[in-house]
Amino acid sequence: KQEVTQIPAALSVPEGENLVLNCSFTDSAIYNLQWFRQDPGKGLTSLLLIQSSQREQTSGRLNASLDKSSGRSTLYIAASQPGDSATYLCAAHNTNAGKSTFGDGTTLTVKP
């Protein structure tokens, strides 16, 4: 059974700081891994999708990496802004199942 863990549960940083969010998964037989952003009371917004054959993906100030052998993914946010404040979730999609398994997220607060 796939288990996904995100540590820390909450993170507070000053504006302008670079930061890394962590995602660990127990079953390396994943097809891809997806990072999302969720604002309070809203649905999830897709940020980045990394296929199992890829090592990283970049979009603007965001860079996500994937290391299947160690069961880890990271989301790097450069030059953080108050608008980046949200909960960030990762989801692992297994090759032998149709569903994705989500972590419980890291709630990020960027202080002006």
Partner 1 sequence: DTGVSQDPRHKITKRGQNVTFRCDPISEHNRLYWYRQTLGQGPEFLTYFQNEAQLEKSRLLSDRFSAERPKGSFSTLEIQRTEQGDSAMYLCASTHTGGRSYNEQFFGPGTRLTVL
Positions touching partner 1 (CB under 8 A) are 4, 31-32, 34, 36, 41-46, 49, 51, 89, 91, 93, 97-105
DSSP3 helix / strand / coil % (the chain, rounded to 5): 5, 60, 40
Amino acid found at 9:
A
Q: How far apart are the first and last CA of the chain?
A: 41
- Contact residues for 104 (Cβ-Cβ < 8 A; gap 6+): 6, 9, 89
Task: Please identify, using beta-carbon distances, which residue of 46 and 70 lies nearer to partner 1.
Answer: 46
- Nearest distance, CB of residue 31 and partner 1, angstroms: 7
- Nearest distance, CB of residue 67 and partner 1, angstroms: 20
- Nearest distance, CB of residue 15 and partner 1, angstroms: 25
Task: Please identify, using beta-carbon distances, which residue of 50 and 110 lies nearer to partner 1.
Answer: 50
